[in-house]
Amino acid sequence: IQGEDSGVAKRLILASTSPYRRELLNRLGLPFETAAPGVDEAPLPEESPAELASRLARAKALAVRDPDAVVVGSDQVASLEGRPLGKPGSHAKAVAQLELFQGREVLFHTAVCIAAGPDRDLQQHVDLTRVRFRRLPRADLDRYLRLESAYDCAGGFKAEGLGVVLFEAIESSDPTALIGLPLIWVTAALRNTGLDPLAAPD
């Protein structure tokens, strides 16, 4: 990929092992590599969900040390009434988490940080998505998770899949943010670094 300003080929690296973010970035048609950032995701005391997501996205982007690369780091934190919620990790925890969401609004803070060049110039953004959940019986929540085991997803569902049956409404400026990477912002930020999806080879 050629940078618009320098004419030097730039490598694009996604600092994530998430298959969801990989599939989203792949939509732009730009060749990229993936790298495991190895960042401790534990929240700090008194850290808000948005601050946590932003800090982790920045840490992931800076964890990949390649002066010739444009690195995309991202993190998503779900929160209910200001309290961050982790990925459930198991069926029982996922059911309990979805039960907690019934009839309530859950916020999803999806942060992105793009680091570019030897000086690691940063562009940062946090997208906010509001999700209102339906009231469903526990048996329906259990069945959903057996059909779509979203234990590794913030909130315990897959918005791009059957997870839509759980919702009453979604409010967002970018439909891809809830899946894990706000591509509207990412596209504009990548173009600032000289990586333009519209200029990519066929």
Query: Please, which contacts does 33-41 make with residues 24 or more away whose CB atoms are closer than 8 Å?
Result: 35/64, 35/71, 37/61, 37/63, 37/64, 37/73, 38/63, 39/63, 41/75
Token pair for residue 65? Answer: 């040390």
> Among residues 5, 66, 68, 75, which one is catalytic?
75
- Determine contact, residues 184/174, Cβ cutoff 8 Å: yes
Q: Is 121 a catalytic residue?
A: no
Count of alpha carbons within 13 Å of 53, Cβ hemisphere only? Answer: 28
3-state DSSP call for residue 32?
coil
Residues 6+ apart with CB under 8 A from 23: none
Amino acid at 44: L
Residues serving a catalytic function are 75
